[in-house]
Every structure is written in C-alpha cells, then in structure tokens.
Amino acid sequence: MPITIGIIGFGWMGQIHARLLKSNEDCIIKAIADKDYSKLEIGRKLYNIDVYQDYHELLNRKDIDTVFIVTPAKFHYQIVKDSVEAGKNILCEKPLALTREEVNSLRLIVNKSDKKFIICFPERFAISSQEAKDIINDGLIGKIDYIRGNFRFGMKEHNLIHGDWVFDRKQGGGLIIEASVHLWDFIRWLTGSEIVTVVGVAHEYLKNDLTIEDNFAAIAYLENGGIACIDMSGSLPKDSATDKRFEIIGSEGYIYIDEFRNYMTINSNNGIDANPGMIVKGMTHKDFMWHSHVEGGVKRLQKYFIDCLKMDKKPEPGIEDAAKSCEITWALMDSLKSQKLEKVTYGL
Ligand SMILES: NC(=O)c1ccc[n+]([C@@H]2O[C@H](COP(=O)([O-])OP(=O)(O)OC[C@H]3O[C@@H](n4cnc5c(N)ncnc54)[C@H](O)[C@@H]3O)[C@@H](O)[C@H]2O)c1
C-alpha cells in the first residue's frame, strides 16, 4: 500500500515537495491545503487532486496517513499540534517554531505520539554531505577541530517568489532562524558534537518598514572543544547563484565542499584509497554532487522518510534536532544584544 500524503502550504516549497514526490512510487499525494485559493488552483491543475482552504478538512481525511507541513514558520506550531491530534505522520519544514514555549510544547506532543516525525533538513541528504560523513566516520580526517560554512543568496527580492512573511520577524523569525538552522544542524550532525556557546554580529536593513538582518557571522564552541564559524548573507543580487561552502578541518586532514558549484576536495595524512593499489594524499571530485541540498537533498530526504514509514523505523532528523537548531539561533540572537558569548540553553 502506498503512503498517502496531504500537503499543507502549497507555495514555493510545497510545490517543490509535490513535484519531487511524483517520482516516488511508494507514495501518493491525495490532497493539498492552502489559505490562498490561487495556490489551490495550481495544485488542482497539476495533480488533479482534492484541495482545501482550511487544513482541518485535510486532517479529517482518514485516507491520508501523512502530512507535509510547508507553511511559514509562524503556523508550524498549531499545524503540527493539530496533525498529531489527527493521528498523522509528519514532515515539518524548518524552522520548527518561533518561541521556546512552542518548541518545548512540541517536544512533549511529538514524543508522546506513536506516529513518525521528520524535520526537513535536506543538507544532511546532499550527496556531498553524505560523502563527507562517510569520510569522517572512516577516520580519514581525524577529530574535527574547525568547521566553517557559509550560505549566501539573494533574499531582498524573496517576496517575488515567496510570501512577504520572509521579511517579518513575527512570521518567519528573521534570516538567522529561518536559514541558519540548516547550518547549525549540519554542524551538529557532521561533528556528532553539540554547540555549547555562540557569539555573533549582524547587519540589519529596513524592509516594509521593519528591520531584519541581511548579513551575519557567528562563531561557536562545540562540546568536543572544536570551533564552528558560519556566515550568511541575503544580499546577493537577484538571480545570483546560491553560494554554499563548507570547510571541515580535522587533526588528520580536511574536506572542502562547494555545494552549488559541484566540487569537493579531500586531503588526508592517512592516505585515501583512490583505486586498488593507489593510495593518494588528496583528491578532488568535480561535478560530483547532484543538485545540491535543494532538489537532490529534498528528494532523498523524502525517500528516506517514506522508507522509514514503510519499515516502521524512527526517522532522523527528528523533533530533538528540530528543537536544538532553533535553540542555537536564540542564543545567537541573545549574543547580538549582549555582545558576549552566550550559552545555548537546550530544553526547558
Ligand atoms: N528545507 C528547505 O530547504 C526550505 C527551502 C525553502 C523554504 N523552506 C520552508 O518552507 C516553508 C514555506 O516556505 P515557502 O518558501 O514555500 O513560502 P511561500 O510563501 O512560498 O509558501 C507558503 C504557503 O503557505 C500558505 N499558508 C500560510 N498559512 C497557511 C495556513 N494556515 N494553512 C494553509 N496554508 C497556509 C501560504 O498561502 C503560501 O501559499 C517555510 O517554513 C520555509 O522556511 C524550506
């Protein structure tokens, strides 16, 4: 029996999810819900499925076992809560929610449910990320002492393809929570170490009479003594290629990834088994990654989640990963005010 899916929120990302789900024969999209009638018309035309302006009607459908929640962050808390109460498995888009109270409440609600939950962090499912994780697990670069990442794109025209909510801290949370959760989760997952303290600087600009950060940089200490450094910019000109790079430096070697330019370099003191009888100190894979984290990553995350549902396996990243990535961003926001290194508070 295929997994039956309802998508709540059919904007930019909801439509990407639907398109990528089409090639997965183990699931079927049964319905979509969106407050905006024009989005429902797009869905009806493309997929010839049932559409609802009120997502509760979708949740009432007994023939839908799984929901994808793809609305702006402001609505995630209520929709996740209602979906758990309706007995659905859940894929929730990042960030999980916008306040500590909501995040802690969702920890309890989701943990009590016997259904499955995954947060959509496709960075973990990019081919480059998975190769890097294998290389690290094989001990080729030793202990990770330093990890640097950046994520840059053109955000200032975002309202042309996403809603205006992106510029409203009350609806989307701002650039720091909206986008850096990807990087914090990636760092936690790749290093296997929690972030304990963080400090940051940010530049803000005015959009729609509201201030919102457009550029920021942050440095953090990891539990294992290593350090992480990230920077993000939403200031690239419209239609610029997204720029996402990681440098992972260990005691025995390093990995450089340029995700959107399809490039990855590995160097190791321990030697890399390139071919039978051919041990090299360094190598570069060109054109190695398929479609970066968007598209390729999302598609593989969906497939993994649907396989977990079929095999009754607990998926990852789960509710705890979803919560922790938000909590790191709140410590970073605190440090912008205090101009000091702030401790990350996890949980209550
Ligand atoms: N994982 C990723 O890589 C990634 C990438 C982009 C966006 N996202 C996330 O996806 C979510 C949606 O972003 P987007 O870019 O698609 O935004 P969007 O503005 O393009 O679409 C959001 C849609 O949700 C609908 N909506 C809002 N409230 C609703 C409600 N209560 N019930 C039903 N529909 C509702 C809106 O009408 C809109 O069509 C956000 O959480 C965003 O952070 C994730």
Report if residue 229 sits inside a domain. Answer: yes
Report if residue 70 sits inside a domain. Answer: yes
pLDDT of residue 240: 84
If you measure from the C-alpha of residue 292 to the centroid of ligand 1, how many angstroms do you get, rounded to a whole number? 20
Q: Are residues 128 and 276 in the same domain?
A: yes
Q: Are residues 219 and 339 in the same domain?
A: yes
pLDDT of residue 164: 85
Q: Are residues 93 and 157 in the same domain?
A: no
Helices marked H in the chain — which ranges?
A: 12-21, 37-47, 55-59, 76-85, 100-112, 127-137, 169-172, 175-191, 298-311, 319-338
Distance CA 68, CA 16 (A): 12
**121 Cα nearest atom in ligand 1:** 1
Q: Are residues 133 and 83 in the same domain?
A: no
Nearest CA residue ID for atom 9, ligand 1: 93
If you measure from the C-alpha of residue 133 to the centroid of ligand 1, how many angstroms do you get, rounded to a whole number? 29
Q: Are residues 87 and 143 in the same domain?
A: no
pLDDT of residue 295: 66
36 lines ligand 1 (CB under 6 A): yes
Q: Are residues 109 and 65 in the same domain?
A: yes
Q: Are residues 103 and 140 in the same domain?
A: no
* DSSP string covering 133-165: HHHHHTTSS-SEEEEEEEEE-B-TTGGGTS-GG
> What is the CATH classification number for the domain harbouring 7?
3.40.50.720
User: Which residues in the chain come in under a pLDDT of 50?
Assistant: 290
Tally the domains of the chain.
Answer: 2
Q: Are residues 160 and 280 in the same domain?
A: yes
Q: Are residues 47 and 191 in the same domain?
A: no
> What is the CATH classification number for the domain harbouring 279?
3.30.360.10
pLDDT of residue 242: 86
- Structural domain of 231: 123-290+326-343
> Tens digits of per-residue pLDDT, 10-27?
999 999 999 999 989 999
296 lines ligand 1 (CB under 6 A): no
Q: Are residues 221 and 313 in the same domain?
A: no
Report if residue 348 sits inside a domain. Answer: no
Report if residue 48 sits inside a domain. Answer: yes
Mutate to test the pocket of ligand 1, among 7, 8, 12, 129 (most ligand atoms within 8 A of CB): 12
pLDDT of residue 7: 98
**Under a CB-based contact definition with an 8 Å cutoff, are residues 191 and 226 in contact?**
yes
Report if residue 230 sits inside a domain. Answer: yes
Q: Are residues 143 and 268 in the same domain?
A: yes
122 lines ligand 1 (CB under 6 A): yes
Q: Are residues 286 and 308 in the same domain?
A: no
Closest CA relative to residue 179, chosen from 320, 70, 73: 73
246 lines ligand 1 (CB under 6 A): no
Report if residue 150 sits inside a domain. Answer: yes
pLDDT of residue 291: 53
Report if residue 30 sits inside a domain. Answer: yes
- pTM: predicted TM-score of the whole model, two decimal places: 0.95
**36 Cα nearest atom in ligand 1:** 37
Report if residue 89 sits inside a domain. Answer: yes
188 lines ligand 1 (CB under 6 A): no
Share of the chain above pLDDT 70, in %: 97
**53 Cα nearest atom in ligand 1:** 33
